[in-house]
């Protein structure tokens, strides 16, 4: 290892671990000790990353309060050094961290709230794509409908959360007191996407969530309707399927529709 590489390695280690051997190669300034001057880099490292996390997770920050968010943020920084040159992606693992790390894992609403904010952030700058219009689907002959497959907009993401984090999110966003955290009886099925330029989400019923998940896997409309028929009212399955589909198209959730072979 050459001298520059060794110095950079030592410098980084001092910031990340506190091993200050690099200080032997740094003189005091005319006005200040080297420890204080090097401390500017040490302080900036953690504070900059926690600030970035706060920008990505504004509502989690409000929910936890400054002190607790700061403490949690520094714990995340210590456990997850940034591996990407773009700060945009630094807090990507925060939901997983909150789900798997004491004491935060004792409060599952935290990881759910972080997951919802992450999904909204990801939708905000997700890949652009054309949005399918009602006319795109109406153009298919009735006999072709069974073979239609649907392409979700690149911003669309499904989340299953086990708490009332979406209600907490809505309250915090409206600058209201959030409800007490509650663990749900069954998964709360959330669909997040970008409508024009604005990230949005809504909750799905079990049937619509199943249809969306299967449609996103490329299952054709005819098969989707057969699956809907297993939920309830088999005779109304096709109409319900068409209704869900119409809702997706008008919401800008689909990037395209393909006809069957």
Partner 1 sequence: MNVASQMAVSPATTRAGHPVSSAKPPFLGFGLGLRAQHYDEILNGNPAIDWFEVISENYMIPGGQPLRILDQIRARYPVVMHGVSLSIASTAPPNFEYLAALRDLARRVEPKWISDHLCWTGVHGKNLHDLLPIPYTSEALDHVVNRVQLVQDYLGRAIVLENVSTYVQFSNSEMTEWEFLSELSRRSGCWLLFDVNNVYVSAFNHGYDPRTFLEGIPADRVLQFHMAGHSHMGTHIVDTHDHPVCEDVWELYAAALKRFGWVSTIIERDDHIPPLDEIMVEVERTREMANKILAPLVKQAG
- Interface residues with partner 1 (CB under 8 A)? 2-5, 7-9, 11-12, 15-16, 25-27, 29-32, 34, 36-38, 40-41, 44-45, 48-49, 52, 81-88, 90, 124-129, 154-155, 194, 197
Nearer to partner 1 by Cβ, of 189 and 194: the residue is 194
Nearer to partner 1 by Cβ, of 124 and 179: the residue is 124
Q: How many CA atoms lie less than 13 Å away from 140 in the CB half-sphere?
A: 20
Residues 6+ apart with CB under 8 A from 146: 220, 221, 222, 225, 260
Alpha-carbon torsion (47, 49, 53, 56), positive or negative: positive
Nearer to partner 1 by Cβ, of 25 and 203: the residue is 25
Least Å from the CB of residue 194 to partner 1? 7
Q: Burial level of 211, CB count in 10 A (0-12/13-18/19+)?
A: buried
Nearer to partner 1 by Cβ, of 3 and 186: the residue is 3
CB-based contact 19:13 (threshold 8 Å): yes
Least Å from the CB of residue 22 to partner 1? 9
Q: Burial level of 34, CB count in 10 A (0-12/13-18/19+)?
A: middle
- Tokens representing 79 are 């456990």
Least Å from the CB of residue 161 to partner 1? 23
Nearest-angstrom CA–CA distance, 227 and 212: 11
The angle formed by the CA atoms of residues 105, 108 and 110, to the nearest 5 degrees, is 90
Nearer to partner 1 by Cβ, of 21 and 187: the residue is 21
Least Å from the CB of residue 62 to partner 1? 19
- Tokens representing 8 are 């950079």
Least Å from the CB of residue 201 to partner 1? 16
Least Å from the CB of residue 86 to partner 1? 5
Least Å from the CB of residue 155 to partner 1? 8
Nearer to partner 1 by Cβ, of 237 and 253: the residue is 253
Strands 198-204, 254-258: pairing is unpaired
Nearer to partner 1 by Cβ, of 86 and 177: the residue is 86
């Amino acid at each position: 290892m050459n001298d520059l590489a060794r110095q950079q390695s030592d410098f980084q280690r001092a910031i990340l671990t506190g091993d200050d051997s690099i200080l032997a190669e740094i003189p005091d300034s005319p006005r200040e000790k080297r420890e204080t001057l090097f401390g500017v880099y040490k302080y900036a490292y953690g504070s900059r990353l926690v600030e970035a996390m706060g920008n990505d997770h504004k509502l989690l920050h409000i929910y936890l309060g400054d002190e607790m968010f700061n403490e949690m943020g520094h714990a995340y920084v210590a456990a997850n050094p940034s591996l990407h040159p773009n700060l945009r992606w630094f807090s990507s693992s925060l939901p997983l961290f909150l789900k798997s790390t004491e004491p935060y894992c004792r409060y599952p609403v935290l990881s759910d709230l972080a997951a919802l904010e992450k999904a909204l952030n990801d939708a905000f700058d997700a890949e652009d794509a054309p949005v399918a219009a009602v006319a795109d689907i109406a153009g298919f002959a009735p006999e072709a409908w069974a073979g239609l497959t649907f392409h979700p907009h690149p911003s669309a993401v499904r989340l299953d959360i086990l708490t009332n984090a979406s209600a907490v999110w809505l309250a915090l966003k409206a600058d209201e007191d959030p409800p007490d955290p509650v663990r749900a009886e069954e998964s709360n099925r959330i669909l997040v996407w970008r409508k024009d330029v604005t990230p949005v989400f809504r909750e799905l019923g079990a049937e619509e969530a199943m249809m969306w998940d299967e449609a996103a896997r490329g299952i054709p409309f005819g098969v989707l309707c057969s699956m809907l028929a297993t939920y309830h009212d088999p005779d109304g399955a096709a109409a319900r399927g068409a209704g869900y589909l119409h809702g997706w198209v008008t919401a800008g959730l689909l990037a395209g529709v393909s006809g069957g072979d």
